[in-house]
A and B are shown apart, each in its own frame.
Chain A
């Protein structure tokens, strides 16, 4: 018996959300008295033996560059066969873009119950239940899995990455790789930016910023803090910002350590995407803005006066001129 953790990568690097999944999976193995094994499809620059420091004993790698592009159908078959060959009883994914494509397929293939969006370790005191977010972050559900094989997709930023000592044994998996049905024809990435779902800090702007020309200070603050930028839906709808920055119920759901909302009123649909942030800071000129009810810290004031002063103070703190 073992816990199998799927390790996802992009541009030759293992994603941070996968390190979270590794640590989560290692802990599940410890709690259930089994061992943690990782599987990586494709090639990365990192030394896979070093993944041992996150608690996995073995890393299976299918060293085939075709697999550097996602085809969920091809991935699922390989993972499914690996689950059977190593007798895995729990499979852990990050609930990131790849996990959302592959974990459900694997669930259907293996008839294994899936909890997508887990935010805590399983409770095994009475069966096997896993807590996940529901109602777009407005509530949680404890989902019971009664199937022999259980699949858990862990929400990014909900389990800490900790590392210790240890090296993993790296095993090259020699399995047939089906020809992909999906051909990648283009990839565009906003360079140098922190991906929104992986960011520890997010600086976000709303309609209160009046127009796209005023985003300079948002970007400057984000850059100083190593943060990603986000926006409310009307801002994306008006094309002030790209739609992949839109957070909320109909946008991206995020759970950073720090969310700074500037000129955003805090409508329930906006909160639904950001209410799992650990610390929320609201800057709004209207003391009655609903966002203040969900905030930890706030300033009632004009963003155009307040934000430059925040930038100044952060620069001082970080010792940048």
Chain B
């Protein structure tokens, strides 16, 4: 069994969001970078759990990023995984990233490809589906549970107002979210071991980008809160009904 886990680097969830270069670039000064939470807590941890059940499993991590992503990928290796591949390119085009990962996947012959549900910076929720199409594999998105039974995967996924459980034969691409696994903290042994795990750097394949970011903007500031005294909640209901026309 071979699993590929897609790992991306994102700004810390509390990072200040600001832009430079005439609002065309994210201001990275002072920003702390983390493993995208969905990739770390759910996709990677579930892959590690599968390996714990079946030690013959191999886990590869892949990231599309420049050398500054190495710290992130080492951190992911400290949690688990056998080796990592970094594709040496910087892009925010989902198709470009997916096509690079699909090239790696074609070489690796993976049974299972995990991504996170979305990156918390670009919020595409797209890369898993694109990889699946490029590899002609089935895709199950927004998984909340993942079980393996031989070569059959039972995947529970989010639907509007509930959940659906799907049965699919490997190979498959799955995007993971809360429920698939529980967040873990790397231990000392993992951190030490990660230093010697292979981290291969591949040069990118020639792939065209389909989109570009023309500019960023911040939302307009709120006017300020209108407070209603605690002893008169009926007034809040009146305001919401008559002034805000919310119901």
Q: Which residues of A approach B to under 8 Å, CB–CB?
A: 10, 15, 71-73, 76, 95-97, 100-109, 111-117, 129, 131-136, 138-147, 181-190, 193-198, 201, 225-226, 236, 243-244, 246, 249-251, 253, 257-258, 268-269, 272, 275, 279, 281-282, 292-302, 305-307, 309-310, 312-314, 316-317
- Does B20 have its Cβ within 8 Å of any Cβ on chain A? no
Question: Given B130, B160, B229, B237, which contacts A107 in the complex, CB threshold below 8 Å?
Answer: B130
In the complex, residue of chain B having the shortest beta-carbon distance to the beta carbon of A252? B158
Cα–Cα distance between A195 and B223 once the two chains are bound (Å):
30
With A141-B213, A143-B211, A143-B212 given, is the CB distance from A306 to B123 under 8 Å? no
Q: Quick check: B132 and A275 within 8 Å, CB to CB?
A: no
Residues of A within 8 A of B165 (CB): 184-187
Query: What total of chain B residues lie within 8 Å of the partner, measured CB to CB?
Result: 81
Question: Given A115, A146, A305, which contacts B230 in the complex, CB threshold below 8 Å?
Answer: A305
Q: Quick check: A114 and B225 within 8 Å, CB to CB?
A: no
Cα–Cα distance between A144 and B214 once the two chains are bound (Å):
6
- Does B134 have its Cβ within 8 Å of any Cβ on chain A? yes
Q: Quick check: B132 and A182 within 8 Å, CB to CB?
A: no
Q: Quick check: B128 and A225 within 8 Å, CB to CB?
A: no
Q: Quick check: A73 and B210 within 8 Å, CB to CB?
A: no
Residues of A within 8 A of B127 (CB): 104
Cα–Cα distance between A117 and B218 once the two chains are bound (Å):
16
Shortest Cβ-Cβ A-B pairs, 9 listed = A301-B230, A104-B129, A195-B161, A189-B162, A113-B210, A104-B126, A195-B160, A313-B237, A313-B234
Most chain B beta-carbon contacts within 10 A, residue among A103, A146, A297: A297
Cα–Cα distance between A201 and B246 once the two chains are bound (Å):
8
Q: Which residues of B approach A to under 8 Å, CB–CB?
A: 11, 13-14, 17, 19, 37-38, 41, 94-95, 98-99, 120-134, 136-142, 144, 154, 157-169, 178-179, 208, 210-219, 222-223, 225-230, 233-234, 236-241, 244, 246-247
Cα–Cα distance between A50 and B214 once the two chains are bound (Å):
38
Minimum CB–CB distance from A211 to chain B (whole Å) comes to: 21
Q: Quick check: B130 and A314 within 8 Å, CB to CB?
A: no
Cα–Cα distance between A105 and B133 once the two chains are bound (Å):
5
Q: Quick check: A101 and B179 within 8 Å, CB to CB?
A: no
Q: Quick check: A293 and B217 within 8 Å, CB to CB?
A: no
Question: Given B124, B137, B140, B160, which contacts A197 in the complex, CB threshold below 8 Å?
Answer: B160
Question: Given B128, B139, B236, which contacts A310 in the complex, CB threshold below 8 Å?
Answer: B236
Residues of A within 8 A of B38 (CB): 250
Minimum CB–CB distance from A120 to chain B (whole Å) comes to: 11
With A73-B139, A195-B160, A302-B230 given, is the CB distance from A185 to B240 under 8 Å? no
Minimum CB–CB distance from A315 to chain B (whole Å) comes to: 10
Cα–Cα distance between A314 and B241 once the two chains are bound (Å):
9
In the complex, residue of chain A having the shortest beta-carbon distance to the beta carbon of B230? A301
With A129-B214, A138-B17, A139-B219 given, is the CB distance from A292 to B225 under 8 Å? yes
14 A-B pairs, CB-CB below 8 angstroms?
A104-B126, A116-B126, A132-B123, A135-B121, A136-B121, A136-B123, A143-B211, A183-B167, A187-B163, A244-B144, A244-B162, A295-B222, A297-B239, A313-B237
